[in-house]
Amino acid sequence: MKILAAGSVSSAGFHINVMVHMSDNDYTFPHRNILGIEQLSARDITHILDTAKSFREISERPIKKVPTLRGKTVVNLFFEPSTRTRMSFEIAAKRMSADTFNISASTSSTQKGETLIDTAQNIRAMKPDVIIMRHSSSGAPQLLARHVDTCIINAGDGAHEHPSQSLLDMRTVLDHKGRINGLKVAIIGDIAHSRVAMSNIIGFTRMGAQIFMAGPRTFMPPCLEEFGVTFCNTVQEAVRGADVVMVLRIQLERQNDPLIPSLREYSRIFGVNRDVIREAKPDAIIMHPGPINRGVELNPDVADGKRSVILDQVTNGVAVRMALLYLVLGGGREDALQGGQ
Ligand code: CP
């Protein structure tokens, strides 16, 4: 890849320098929906991560606002709780001057029996440009994308995918390691119920990393061999020599019956603490998508320690989501955003 253009989107003295990384074939971002990492090629992922890096600088300015998405309307449609994802999509949209609206399950008419598709079609009738959706059911954003022609971004669907989380995780690893290809990434915890795990297994392997996983057998899905991941018997084995240690929360909300005897036992056997981290490379980074159950899957001294990049992940969440909004709305395609200028 080479930088072909360092263009700028500007108005009233605001500038975003968007590095356009293209190969000789004039790459154009091809997606109007971001439903999963599964749909993204390595090239798409690289383009999103490069674009996010360009946008990150806006959040460092005294006045954190550019007109790029002025006139665009972004709807956050969240049927599950969220702090990081919902807020960072909203901040991202507002920093780019889009109008944002939040709809949560408790305040929507789904409470009165309206179907998801009816809700979406009614939202669409009000002409938003992007719908960002979180839902407890795997496949809900895909269903929406089949019924409405508005851009859809999946903000986490059941235990399926959480693509923007995976992209911000990859951006964070790139910042700290300079590459993803060839890294050893240990993923520890509740893999089976984690949409973050699924997106990261697809994303990191697509970008050339090797994944090693550990956790209780009841938390290990049966069908991941096709991705080339390695199951380890102990956390220590998975973490040994790792460049990146990614710790996941136990997704109690997605388990009908308890799959582990107790949280105390889980913490003793699978909890990531200073002793476990000694097995990793000396410069290994510690990641967690949040929210953290402190003292269960991750000890506070590791979560808050000098190798932790957990808050960097959150910071990158805004930049990655700015990039996604920009790209799905045609950013980088000539004149695509002119209506909003
Ligand atoms: N990582 C993540 O999805 O966090 P939220 O549930 O707070 O959005």
Quick check: pTM over 0.85? yes
Q: Which string of b and e fits 121-152 if b means at least 16 CB within 10 Å?
A: eebbeeebbbbbbbbeeeebbbbbbeebebbb
At residue 224, the pLDDT reads: 75
Same domain, 103 and 172: no
99 DSSP β-pair partners = 73
User: What residue's CA is closest to ligand 1, atom 5?
Assistant: 82
Q: What is the mean pLDDT of each run of 10 residues along the chain (341 residues)?
A: 40 46 69 98 98 96 97 96 97 98 88 90 95 96 94 97 98 98 97 94 97 91 83 96 96 67 88 97 98 94 97 98 97 65 39
Distance CA 340, CA 69 (A): 5
Query: Which residues form the domain of 254?
Result: 163-310
Q: Which of 79, 80, 82, 169 to mutate to test the pocket of ligand 1 (most atoms within 8 A of CB)?
A: 82
Q: Which residues line ligand 1 (CB under 6 A)?
A: 82-85, 156, 165, 289-291
Same domain, 198 and 297: yes
> Is 252 part of any domain?
yes
How many Å lie between the centroid of ligand 1 and the Cα of residue 198?
Answer: 15
> Is 287 part of any domain?
yes
Distance CA 143, CA 131 (A): 13
> Is 341 part of any domain?
no
At residue 46, the pLDDT reads: 98
Three-class SS of 217-266: HHHCCCCCHHHCCEECCCHHHHHCCCCEEEECCCCHHHCCCCCCCCHHHH
CATH assignment of the domain containing 108:
3.40.50.1370
> Is 70 part of any domain?
yes
pLDDT tens by residue, 163-179: 999 999 999 999 999 99
